[in-house]
């Protein structure tokens, strides 16, 4: 298989103003030691500062616990109304350790309420009860977390606890991996994400006297402050500092951000709002290709056809600095010829977009139609032709 690239005439696909100079990528400054911002709509990385440094995630690790639960719910392996008991040992260990849902020893709590306690209240107790309910022990559940992380390609992450409590470096992540996890949660489980991640508050447990229920606000610093904000998770320990993985959507663009290592919760809130607003204000989406529109063809090997159309799986846009009107360079890239059979909608190529002064962006292209594998004689003929370079 060889890497194939075809240069596309940009003027045939998008209207460009070649006379206007490209605008340089906008600058952003943050005191956060680690920062990362990505536009999911195009895949463009808008900002990266030490994004591959391994670091303790604190409660941001809970996103992995929630992802595993979402995965099981979607597959039917876990139901929202299933109830798990709060073991006395678990209550003793976690009822006063950091953030808590204020669970009571011996009570039975539904998966739905535990997830609300994890996402909205950052309950360390809720995480462990859910983990034990699903896998029997927290350690068995973390094995499941690590398997899921490996499948997602979180190559610089490892989980030793369900809640991110300090464990002498066993649990670690990177900002890039946290953004990838957040993106997978949003894209793989949109209904569950919407159901759980943007609750402003949640009420569970009662005060010491037992008279009043305990209502706690969501710690997400973007909710109510940035338009379109709808998740995800804060984190804090003395070791990790104050961190946040967040997302918001505006005018068809969804951004995912990670900040870590800040000194106070107030600084985390201020920097998070500034970072996300900069992402929307300083950058714009440039339409490239409409959903279903064919841009090129790819060569096919051993199929009933020797070519297949390459189309956009959705409306494709590139992310460029606001005000950019310079010409773009578009290239179709794939490893080919592509072996049949091929299914319609299968991701088989990328549209590589290069804007002056910007790193390349890769947008997915999919097969326009099915290409079945050729029969025996067709494959034999194709093999014979390849011997003669035909």
Instruction: Enumerate the active-site residues.
Output: 59, 62, 122
Question: Buried b / exposed e across 274-299, counting CB within 10 Å, b at 16+?
Answer: ebbbbbbebbbbbebbeeeeebbbbe
246 forms beta bridges with: 232, 257
- Give the separation between CA 188 and CA 315, rounded to whole angstroms: 19
Distance (Å, rounded) from C-alpha 205 to C-alpha 123? Answer: 12
Rounded to 5 degrees, what angle do the CA atoms 195, 172, 65 make?
25
Q: Give the Cα-Cα-Cα angle 8, 11, 12 (nearest 5 degrees).
A: 70
CA distance 79 to 69: 9
Residues written for the chain = 390
Are residues 28 and 282 in contact, defined by beta-carbon separation less than 8 angstroms?
yes
User: Are the C-beta atoms of residues 308 and 296 closer than 8 Å to each other?
Assistant: no
What string of DSSP letters covers 32-86? -SEEEEEETTT--EEEEESTT--B--GGGGHHHHHHHHHHHHHHTSS-TT-EEE-
């Amino acid at each position: 298989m060889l890497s194939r690239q075809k240069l596309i005439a940009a003027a045939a696909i998008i209207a460009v103003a070649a006379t206007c100079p490209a605008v340089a990528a906008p600058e952003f400054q943050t005191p956060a030691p680690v920062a990362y911002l990505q536009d999911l709509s195009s895949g463009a990385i808008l900002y990266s500062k030490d994004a591959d440094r391994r670091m303790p995630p604190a409660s941001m690790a809970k996103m992995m616990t929630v992802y595993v639960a979402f995965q099981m719910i979607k597959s039917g392996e876990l139901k929202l109304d299933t109830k798990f008991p709060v073991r006395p040992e678990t209550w003793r260990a976690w009822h006063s350790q950091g953030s808590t849902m204020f669970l009571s020893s011996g009570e039975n709590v539904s998966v739905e309420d535990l997830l609300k306690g994890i996402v909205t209240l950052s309950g360390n107790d809720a995480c462990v009860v859910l983990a034990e309910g699903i896998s029997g022990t927290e350690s068995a559940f973390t094995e499941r977390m690590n398997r899921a992380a490996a499948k997602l390609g979180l190559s610089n992450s490892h989980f030793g606890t369900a809640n991110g409590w300090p464990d002498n470096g066993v649990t670690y992540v990177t900002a890039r991996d946290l953004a990838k996890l957040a993106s997978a949660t949003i894209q793989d489980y949109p209904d569950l994400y919407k159901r759980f991640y943007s609750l402003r508050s949640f009420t569970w447990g009662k005060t010491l006297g037992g008279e009043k229920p305990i209502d706690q606000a969501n710690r997400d610093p973007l909710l109510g402050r940035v338009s379109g904000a709808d998740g995800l998770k804060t984190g804090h320990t003395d070791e990790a500092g104050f961190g946040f993985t967040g997302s918001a959507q505006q005018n068809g663009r969804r951004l995912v951000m990670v900040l870590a290592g800040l000194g106070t919760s107030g600084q985390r809130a201020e920097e998070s709002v500034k970072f996300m607003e900069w992402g929307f204000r300083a950058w714009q989406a440039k339409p490239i290709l409409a959903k279903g529109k064919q841009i090129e063809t790819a060569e096919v090997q051993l199929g009933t056809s020797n070519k297949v159309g390459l189309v956009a799986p959705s409306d494709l846009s590139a992310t460029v600095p606001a005000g950019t009107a310079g010409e773009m360079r578009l290239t179709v890239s794939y490893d080919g010829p592509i072996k049949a059979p091929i299914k319609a909608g299968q991701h088989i190529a990328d549209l590589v977009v290069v804007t002056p002064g910007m790193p390349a962006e890769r947008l997915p292209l999919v097969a326009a139609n099915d290409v079945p594998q050729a029969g025996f004689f067709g494959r034999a003929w194709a093999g014979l032709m390849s011997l003669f370079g035909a």
